A and B are shown apart, each in its own frame.
Chain A
Amino acid sequence: MLPEVKTFWLPKQGNTAEEYEDAFSFSISARRFGMADGATESSFADIWARRLAESFAQTPPEGTDLDAWLGPLQAEWRSSVPWDRLPWFAEEKAKNGAFSTLLGLELMSAPPPPPAPPPPPKVGFWARLFGVTPQIAPVQVPEGPSWRAVSVGDSCLFQVRGDRLLRAFPNDKAEQFNARPLLLCSNPSWNHTVRHAVKAVQGPREPGDAFLLATDALSHWFLTQHEAGKKPWNVLFELRAESDFESFVSIKRKEGNLKNDDTTLMVVRWQSA
């Protein structure tokens, strides 16, 4: 059985769909899900966010470090900017590079039962991530079905089982959204400090667990609701059409409970072990 995925997105109120700078992408067969939030204060951030999300889903970092994975994406970004026709201010702005968050999720099946040997642990990107994040235990392949996630910035992942929130990552408190997050930049000069801010986690899952990926405005609302004792995932599970999402977001923005920002949600459920 394949994972079920639902996605919803809406630009910031007052902006057009072309000005939407979040991005999401997934590969059902590879069971990888990427989301990115291009920083609105930078230029051409939509292109950068899209490359990050798509690359995570399609060609995830493998066997190399983060810089090596980012290198070709940065080159693609540079060649997609129409430098020749940019006026002085747009050129100066674009030279600073585009900034974006990245949130990546991968779902894994249970390893084959004994006596078959467990699959070899993945080395490379994931191992390196865990290696550079001291608070995370070394990679161990869980015995049952599992998931892994990587994050730079404040796009968040929520794991929900039944009517319980099991895990929120990387932020697990609403107050954590106040700080300006470190972001991945299309200009390598700005990524020296970011590589130490890459966070990675893993955990067990059960068939039917829901994984919600959301950019910061919706993540902040989600954690605020949860801290007030509510179960914010229920209303998100009920969303069917884009129009449901539009009215939900519009109401929350009007109430002042949802920051007016590009807003993106992905709900992933996999019934298989």
Chain B
Amino acid sequence: MPYSAEISRANPSCFIFLIDQSGSMVDPISGSEGKRKCDSVSDAINRLLHNLIIKCARGEGVRNFYEVCVIGYGATVAPAFSGPLAGRDLVPLSEVANSPARVEERIKKVSDGAGGVIEQKVKFPVWFEPVAKGITPMGTAIAMASSLLETWVPKHRGSYPPIVINITDGEATDSGPVPQATVLTNQATDDGNTLLFNCHISSQPVPPIVFPDSDASLPDEFSRTLFSVSSPLPISLRELARSENFTLGASSRGFAFNADLVELIRFLDIGTRASNLR
């Protein structure tokens, strides 16, 4: 059965995040009290990397179950890690863990174990900074992911397929995303084709549509286009999403429209919780 390969150090998988850094990302995201879209997205990506590292931490180290890459697209299309990893593309997870640009301290509300909630200082490592400048060369960004995978896939035939997550707030200003997405998702390991998830964030105060199984309720041509290039969810991820109270059909795709920050994090979390992590 496809999408069932065990993810291990011998057979790691990989994540590539494509982040829209166009000028319009300074507008507030829906439902986030005026927080800029670029800030919400960078918080979401940093939190996701943090969660992934904790999940793969064992004893004193982090096991390299994944390689991770963040590509920003706006004024340029380029790897978008800050700090010691600046300029790097696919980085083994243990190296990501050991090389944040900085570590902030934030306040988190946690359970006290007896039904109450207490405030606790937590470390918030930052690898990715908000940027909002330029246009939306989405096709070029997807092509860059594709070119990384052209090298990665032949070396990892037995691995769980790569997952590429694209977060954008607007229409591509180049020829993307359809032709580039087709090339990308045709790259396959023995366990299945590369998965492409798209997340359209927006300033409009309308309820999010997450994991839809048709484009019928999508409001415009651009969101229908993004839906059309989003991968159908494999059974294992469909079951996972259902257990997290998402409503899904049999042909639900990895697509979210107008996700607010909470939905964005839930969406990303499903995308990064592939089964059989050992």
Contact = CB atoms under 8 A, between A and B. Distances in A.
Interface of A: 12, 14, 40-41, 43-44, 82, 85-90, 92-93, 188-190, 192, 260
B53 A89 contact: yes
19 contacts: A14-B9, A41-B55, A41-B277, A43-B57, A43-B59, A87-B97, A87-B98, A88-B103, A88-B123, A90-B57, A90-B59, A90-B60, A90-B61, A92-B57, A92-B123, A93-B54, A93-B57, A188-B113, A189-B113
B10 interface: yes
Nearest to B96: A89
B60 A85 contact: yes
Nearest to A86: B60
B55 A82 contact: no
B6 interface: yes
What is the interface of chain B mostly: helix, strand, loop, or mixed? mixed
Most chain A beta-carbon contacts within 10 A, residue among B6, B59, B103: B59
A44 B97 contact: no
A43 B58 CA distance: 5
B278 A89 contact: no
Nearest to A47: B59
A83 B200 CA distance: 42
B58 A88 contact: no
Interface of B: 6, 8-10, 53-55, 57-62, 97-98, 103, 111-114, 122-123, 125, 277-278
Given A89-B97, A92-B54, A189-B113, A82 B60 contact: yes
A86 B60 CA distance: 6
A6 B164 CA distance: 49
Given A41-B55, A87-B60, A89-B97, A14 B123 contact: no
Nearest to A88: B123
A215 B122 CA distance: 36
Contacts of B278: 12, 14, 40, 260
Q: Which of B8, B60, B122 has the most CB of A within 10 A?
A: B60
B262 to A, nearest CB: 22
Nearest to B10: A14
Contacts of B111: 189
Nearest to B8: A14
Contact of B62 (A14, A89, A192): A89
Contacts of B58: 40, 43, 93
Given A12-B278, A87-B98, A189-B113, 11 more contacts: A14-B278, A40-B58, A41-B277, A43-B58, A43-B59, A85-B60, A86-B60, A89-B57, A89-B62, A93-B58, A190-B113
A40 B122 CA distance: 24
B60 to A, nearest CB: 5
Contacts of B125: 88
Give the residue among B58, B62, B278 with the most A Cβ atoms within 10 A: B58
A43 B123 CA distance: 19
A41 B58 CA distance: 8
A14 B10 CA distance: 7
A186 to B, nearest CB: 14
Contacts of B55: 41
Contacts of A188: 113
A190 B113 CA distance: 7
Contacts of A14: 8-10, 278
A44 B125 CA distance: 23
A89 B54 contact: yes
Contacts of B112: 189
B6 A260 contact: yes
Contacts of B103: 88
A198 to B, nearest CB: 19
A92 B60 CA distance: 11
Contacts of A192: 113-114
A86 B123 CA distance: 14
Contacts of B53: 89
A245 to B, nearest CB: 21
A111 B37 CA distance: 74
A248 to B, nearest CB: 21
A126 to B, nearest CB: 27
Nearest to A192: B113
Contacts of A93: 54, 57-58
Among A12, A43, A44, A190, find the residue whose CB has the most chain B CB atoms closer than 10 A: A43
Contacts of B8: 14
A256 to B, nearest CB: 11
Contacts of B277: 41
A90 B61 CA distance: 6
A85 to B, nearest CB: 7
A46 B8 CA distance: 19
Contacts of A43: 57-59
A40 B7 CA distance: 13
A217 to B, nearest CB: 12
A179 to B, nearest CB: 12
